[in-house]
Amino acid sequence: MIPDETADDIQIAAEAQQRLAVQALAPAYVPACPGAGKTHVITLRHLQSPTRLLRQGRALISFTRVARDQMAQRCRQAGRSDLLHAPHFVGTLDSYLWEFLVKPLRATQPVPRLLESWSNVKAPVQGMDREISLHRFPMVLDPAVEPVRQGVAWNNVDRDTKRLLEKSEYDRGEWEAAALKTRDSWCKLGYFTGHEARYLALWNLRRPGRAAKLLPQLLSRFAEVVVDEAQDCSGADLAILEMLHDAGLPLVLVGDPDQAIYAWRGAQPAALQRLATKLTSAPVPLTGNWRSSPVICRLASTLRAGHRPPDTAVLREDDIPVVVLPTRFAGTGSNHRHASTSNGVVKAFRDVAQQYDIEAVDCLVTAYKYATLPGITREKQNTNQITSLAWARTVAHTEGATSAELTRACAVAVRVLFGYWFPGEVGSAERLCAAHGISLQQANRTAFTFLHSLPPPHKEWATDVWQAMKAWPAPSGVTPQHTKGRLAGAPVVARQAKATGVRTNIVHQLKGDEADAIMLILPDDGNVQRWAQGDPSADELLRVWYVAITRARRLATLAVPEEEAEDMAQMLTQYEVPVRIV
Ligand SMILES: Nc1ncnc2c1ncn2[C@@H]1O[C@H](COP(=O)(O)OP(=O)(O)OP(=O)(O)O)[C@@H](O)[C@H]1O
């Protein structure tokens, strides 16, 4: 227990750091530890804006819609909805690039639209010997060359797609060319994704004539651009930001390089450091952790490059030790067993949390991969429509499904219903809704009730779905054509885990999230050696573990293979982390 006076001093010092970050003049770099209150600082910075109408605004840029919504909500709660509108901008990097560096130079017809992913439209790659959707080919950019090189990120193609490709007569080069050609044909129809937004932003900024049309507007609109989670910037993102800085746009980069977990998607923490140094010689660090207990700060420091000392726990004085759960891992997440009780590992975790008065709703289970995670099965990204719909139906019937899952589930059902109602019409749900005078909200409501009405998936489920689609009240003006849009095949249905009341999600979906108790599932052998000897600056998995445990406020639990439990506890004890095996 920290004496009161010291606790006060710690809080005062942490608040002083936050104040400096709120007031720092742009260009600025704010490297921050986990739980440092980055969102808090960024929003406060924005809330300082005068209420009178300004000629110039501030852009708050994040990587996810969740982060964007969080900042927007805080502005609204403070009674400052005005800060969400022009001249300000609060949104994702994709939408910022699109809005200010791409769209102004596009033809107005066909109306250019930014999609979250190619999976939002039905876009099979054309001219090949089997049907594979465009979204199954993740794209990558190399901004180091001019013109920017783009291609398929083969390392990130999922296993199912790789299997399909192996059976194809065409080789990877031919698939890549076909995917890019199909993509180009969608761009001609006015559709783009974040990848194209980056490509075109770079294209425009690197051509003086085009840049001259964009930059003056941008510079007069924004007095400052704040980028949150800057450690997730890809090489292309950083190249764009650097050009904006060179053009005189004041940037504020806020991020935690230790939490960089997107290198596989092109994030470049080292390049971020270079840009940060170019922005300022005096970064404004945040080293107070307002979220986690001292034990968790200490545990986290063992997973940091250079083994820097633990961050200061500002508020929490808990001394709950780290709990190691010896576990017998099974092929699927829901069958992992706690070794000493043979209970499911989630139940064991809940029992431990309960000992510390932590309720199930304040617990969070996480793992690197969906496959090892107990609980609701993830929508398989690249599966056939009937299986996607079966997943969506399961979500609609699952208590505790997250809003992101529900949104995805409704989108799947909207696509299925629209495929039947508007056969032959291409385009996103938004575009079809607009064309047929249906509000997206109405479409989502219909989709949800439709999903909810469907019987549980089984082998002959496609027939039930077809009957339901035909019987479902259609909006006026729809023109179904016989069996067009009918789903074929049998769904691959995953077993639904017993409801535990505990949230589960993969680490990559936990950015910015937090919970009183976290259980990190570490099913592979060799965890201890990797933890003790690995280099977090080179080993992204260690950074993924770091992100996971730093979501915890009070209790961090590690489920490790039974034979590794003792070694794990010993290793943590050597680092002076209080630990117990349960
Ligand atoms: N000045 C403050 N006073 C009280 N609570 C604070 C303060 N700053 C931050 N917090 C709280 O600390 C917690 C962590 O803040 P936040 O989520 O903004 O951190 P973060 O820097 O985004 O962390 P991470 O990068 O780990 O997600 C939140 O619960 C937030 O409400």
Q: Any long-range contacts for 332-338 (C-beta under 8 Å, 24+ apart)? A: 332/371, 332/495, 333/367, 333/371, 333/372, 333/373, 333/374, 333/375, 333/497, 333/521, 334/374, 334/375, 334/495, 334/497, 334/498, 336/372, 336/374, 336/521, 336/523, 336/559, 338/559
Q: Is 212 annotated as ligand-binding?
A: no
| Same domain flag for 88 and 235 | yes
Is 39 among the annotated ligand-binding positions?
yes
Within a domain: 194:
no
> Which of 168-172, 178-182, 434-438 has the least mean pLDDT?
434-438
- Separation of 503 CA from ligand 1 center, angstroms? 20
If you measure from the C-alpha of residue 39 to the centroid of ligand 1, how many angstroms do you get, rounded to a whole number?
7
Give the pLDDT confidence of 367-415 residue by residue, as tens digits.
988 777 776 555 555 467 888 898 888 888 876 677 777 888 898 899 8
Residue 106 DSSP class: S
> How many structural domains does the chain have?
4
| 290 within ligand 1 shell (Cβ under 6 A) | yes
Split at pLDDT 50, 70, 90, the class of 431 is: confident
3-state secondary structure of 95: helix
Write a three-state SS string for 299-354. Answer: HHHCCCHHHCCCCEECCCCCCCCEEEEEEECCCCHHHCEECCCCCEHHHHHHHHHH
Q: Is the pLDDT of residue 492 over 80?
A: no
Q: Encoding tokens for residue 81?
A: 């909805």
Whether residue 47 lies inside any domain: the answer is yes
CA quadruple 533, 536, 540, 545: dihedral positive or negative?
Answer: positive
Domain boundary residue, one of 147, 164, 188: 188
Is this complex's ipTM strictly greater than 0.90?
yes
Q: Are 404 and 509 part of one and the same domain? A: no
**200 and 121 Cβ atoms separated by less than 8 Å:** no
Can you tell me the mean pLDDT for 335-346? 91
User: What is residue 477's predicted lDDT score, i.e. its pLDDT?
Assistant: 75
Are 97 and 216 contained in the same domain? yes
**Is residue 300 lining ligand 1, measured as CB closer than 6 Å?**
no
Q: Does one domain contain both 324 and 396?
A: no
Q: What is the pLDDT at residue 435?
A: 81
118 lies in some domain: no
Distance 222 CA to ligand 1 centre (A): 26
64 and 35 in a common domain:
yes
Does the residue 568 lie in any domain? yes
- Model pTM? 0.79
Looking at the domain assignment, is residue 265 inside a domain? yes
* Beta bridge pairs of residue 267: 234
Rounded CA-CA distance 151/406 in Å is 32
| Amino acid code (one letter) for 263 | A
- Our answer on whether the CB atom of 550 is closer than 6 Å to any ligand 1 atom is yes
Is residue 479 one of the residues assigned to a domain? no
Answer yes or no: do 83 and 215 share one domain: yes
Same domain, 364 and 513: yes
Do 139 and 214 lie in one domain? The reply is: no
Least confident of 182-196, 312-326, 375-389, 436-450: 375-389
Q: Which of 453, 471, 489 is the last residue of a domain?
A: 471
Smallest CA separation from ligand 1 atom 1, residue: 15
Comparing 476 with 57, which gets the higher pLDDT?
57
DSSP reduced 3-state for 365: strand
75 in the same domain as 22: yes
In angstroms, the first-to-last Cα distance of the chain is 24
Q: Mind listing the pLDDT tens digit for each residue in 114-151?
A: 998 898 887 889 999 988 999 999 999 998 888 889 99
37 within ligand 1 shell (Cβ under 6 A)? yes
Exposure of 463 in the CB half-sphere (CA atoms within 13 A)? 3
Judgement on whether residues 505 and 550 belong to the same structural domain of the protein: yes
- Domain identity same for 96 and 210: yes
d(CA 110, CA 122): 18
Hey, what are 34's tokens? 């986990």
Q: Write down the pLDDT at residue 496.
A: 44
Q: How far, in Å, is the centroid of ligand 1 from the Cα of 282? A: 23
> Final residue of a domain: which of 263, 289, 315?
289
Give the domain range for residue 463: 385-471
Same-domain check for residues 284 and 298: no
Q: Is 14 in the pocket of ligand 1 (CB under 6 A)?
A: no
Is 115 contained in some domain?
A: no
